Structure 1
């Protein structure tokens, strides 16, 4: 009878734990990145009974109650939900995002990130997301490195991702301008043009004027060319002349370019090479239709448009000139024992001696890598299944009722024994 009381009471305690855990799982069914728990039970004071056959497959033991063995976390990845924000991230595989708040570093699967008013990358509760900053801009907020990918630093050196509110992509001055086309054979003035960027980031104009040389050579043809580098024409009709150069283009009897004496021009302090091509690959002079085209390298300066996060967990800055640059990389942390992490609340955990310290995976060259796929415009939903949770809740409730009934039955047995003793 004492056994009935003890078994019933421990049953109530353990089944109540199961109900609490399952209820908490169901309450967080809509929590982003939530990983549910499960309960493992054990028998208390279990005694083996003697059997006539040592090979019997029947469990010949009796327990004197039950207890909670462990409450492990379910590590299955939840389904990925599509969102309309490029700063929403989901980890497709093992690993955790790191967030920091109130002096505490926590780890989570919830990637609902955004940039706050100070350009800090934060989660939905305003905690700072941890990663590696590239520090690729100077004190004037001018970009110093134009790499489009970032490299992870050490796991212990990850910091909050704070980005500048203003940022300039420096100009790339034009160094080469190439021309292609057909001048024809008629004695008329031909013109071509191209745009150039100077070292200050200004867009200037290169104009070429072609006139037939007098006199013409006995074989083939030649054209005089005058090149001018100027600023764009203002509304008042004026412009600044930076340089004027002249030369001669000679062609063979088939119209293919044989040589040129004009090689470069000064673009407001930057020397720009002028490429007319060779043979038929560039400027020609024959009876085919008149054509003209040009191509220049160089790039105007660009101002910051905004920040996004790509599928490599790189925080990317986009500029008005169409270029991009990596400003940071979000870390994906790993642990020797994920089950050793301690839940703080919802989807956030902290490290413990059982989990070990956070680490980064490395490739064959010793470079830190994410070690898992990161998907943007998606969030990981809770890995708790409603149907499983409700089924478990029903089972725990019935087991709880059975334990309560066991206590009632034990009490009735004691009362019956006392009555018989009288």
Structure 2
């Protein structure tokens, strides 16, 4: 038989296969995530031409026809187009989304293989949505697989341990992803509050009676005596600033005897007539001038009224008093020849104390909001000129109060003393408050990102408050990051990780088999007596150490179009058509030759 017929026939059949493959690509040019096929041919078989002689320097052979070589899928990425779908996503790089028909299915991808409870499939079609049960599925109803942290039960999300969640997100244990629409955030009881702030003694002052008087209006003598004299302000809210206005001048005239004294703010002690606290000044006045220093309410009949400092004549029948110096001028305490009988006093203006107040929102088990309130009163000022230098010290009173009534719910106020080191950093230990029967740890020395300070060039302010409590919240938004991790944003400001989208890669993508609906499956072949995937085992898409995707990234609210190139497809289609036509012509020629040979016999 004329070999031309065999060659032409095989050419016609093979080019028909190529045309079929290319036409299918063109038909799916607008199919989301479609992977085009690339038809390839090979020679059918060949034979050596021994009749041409063994002395030839060429390998003389003869080929017979052509046949289908392969129809491999192209691993080239398609175009990426923005999409409005809430769960629409595209994967850029080497890898596939994992889907399956079973809502309760599972899959485990290990370093040396994989296990699955049912047959799963792989796709680049990322137009996912939420079904009626709240599961993430594709348009064909196949469930999207990934790592689900299973934090949502009965429509309520419960916050978990971030360290444990990060560990799970790096694993290869996959299941379906569940995210109902009406997810609520489970309220979290506040058990820890960390705060960072700056305290500036010259920013805010408060009437001294709020610190020196108890709830019954009685003077807390210990606080009065231990108060740094420089940690005070006058009724014009001006700090005394005794580092610049150190002197208090006292002259007493009793009969024909006069006593002239100058007391100075400092740390030198009684030997140098220096005082630091009001208690020190009280002792100097008593031992040096036989005078008394007291603190008293301007209106004794009221529980709380403005407090004044008093210089009192405790024992002498009568004395003439002269008071001067910068400190006296600041306090409106000056006197010039004032007759002071026994028991009479010379009063200062109302005194005030450097102060700052903070509040932090906290939440009980039911998500109800309360305030953690702290009042800061300065009891010791910074004096770098002293020997030794002194640092700031504040007395802090903390309590938990209700939002509306502002009444405390804590059994008693928690007090602590804080100091600042030479670098201006707060030194304070955490304290514990009773929050409706549960201990709450409160640290004001530092928060997550900042350290508390006393820098004078900044106002008193809160830098940051970090706490572990949350109120009730409703799901407002969902975001998928580049690594496929799903983040949920709630109306209470909480952002929680729900899980991540499953991504698998293969050593040989062309080894996957199309099964329809834009899905691919693993094809097993027998090699050396054992079945093995032609594509290789699935490879987990993310690194098991840092959890980041290794071969590409997920693009949320994008879709990958078909990777069919219209120009090259039409060009190849024309080439296939010409090949088909030429083989048909060769077949006709061979047929004519056969007919002519038959006619020779006639």
Deviations 1:38-79 (A, max 9, x none): 2222223423333787544xx843333221122222222333
Deviations 1:144-168 (A, max 9, x none): 41537452544xx532212354242
Corresponding residue SS for 2:38: coil
TM-score after normalising by structure 2: 0.57
Corresponding residue SS for 1:396: helix
Preserved contact between residue 194 and residue 294 of structure 1 (Cα < 8 Å): no
CA distance in 1, matches of 2:481, 2:430: 46
TM-score after normalising by structure 1: 0.78
Q: Which residue of 2 aligns with 1:114?
A: 129
Summarize the Cα distance change of 1:294–1:111 in structure 2 as closer, same or farther, 3 Å threshold.
closer
Which ranges of structure 1 fall in alignment gaps of 5 or more residues?
A: 214-218
Corresponding residue SS for 1:158: strand
Task: Report the CA distance between 1:242 and its aligned residue.
Answer: 0.4
CA distance in 2, matches of 1:104, 1:366: 28
1:72 aligns with 2:89: no
Which ranges of structure 2 fall in alignment gaps of 5 or more residues?
A: 103-117, 206-231, 234-350, 380-389, 526-532
CA distance in 2, matches of 1:323, 1:121: 22
Q: Which residue of 1 aligns with 2:361?
A: 196
Deviations 1:265-287 (A, max 9, x none): 54433455666769x96579x9x
1:175 aligns with 2:192: yes
Moved more, 220-229 or 178-187: 220-229
Aligned residue runs from structure 1 range 322-401, under 5 A: 322-345=493-516, 347-354=518-525, 355-356=533-534, 358-361=537-540, 370-377=549-556, 378-401=558-581
Preserved contact between residue 126 and residue 560 of structure 2 (Cα < 8 Å): yes
Q: Which residue of 1 aligns with 2:585?
A: 405
Preserved contact between residue 395 and residue 416 of structure 2 (Cα < 8 Å): yes
Corresponding residue SS for 1:11: helix
In the alignment of these two chains, the number of paired residues is 404
Preserved contact between residue 369 and residue 471 of structure 2 (Cα < 8 Å): no
Corresponding residue SS for 1:242: coil
Corresponding residue SS for 2:359: strand
Preserved contact between residue 136 and residue 143 of structure 1 (Cα < 8 Å): yes
Q: Which residue of 1 aligns with 2:30?
A: 30
Summarize the Cα distance change of 1:367–1:360 in structure 2 as closer, same or farther, 3 Å threshold.
farther
Corresponding residue SS for 1:390: helix
Deviations 1:358-415 (A, max 9, x none): 4234888779875422221333332222121111111111111112222222332333
Q: Which residue of 2 aligns with 1:123?
A: 138
CA distance in 1, matches of 2:121, 2:425: 69
Q: Which residue of 1 aligns with 2:289?
A: none
Instruction: Select which of 384, 392, 408 maps to 1:241.
Output: 408
Q: Which residue of 1 aligns with 2:100?
A: 100
Q: Which residue of 2 aligns with 1:269?
A: 437
Which structure carries more relative contact order (alpha carbon 8 Å, separation 6+)?
A: 1
Preserved contact between residue 191 and residue 207 of structure 1 (Cα < 8 Å): no
RMSD of aligned Cα (Å): 4.2
Larger radius of gyration: 2
CA distance in 1, matches of 2:10, 2:427: 100
CA distance in 1, matches of 2:75, 2:544: 30
Moved more, 404-413 or 172-181: 172-181
Corresponding residue SS for 1:404: helix
Summarize the Cα distance change of 1:192–1:419 in structure 2 as closer, same or farther, 3 Å threshold.
same
CA distance in 2, matches of 1:387, 1:15: 19
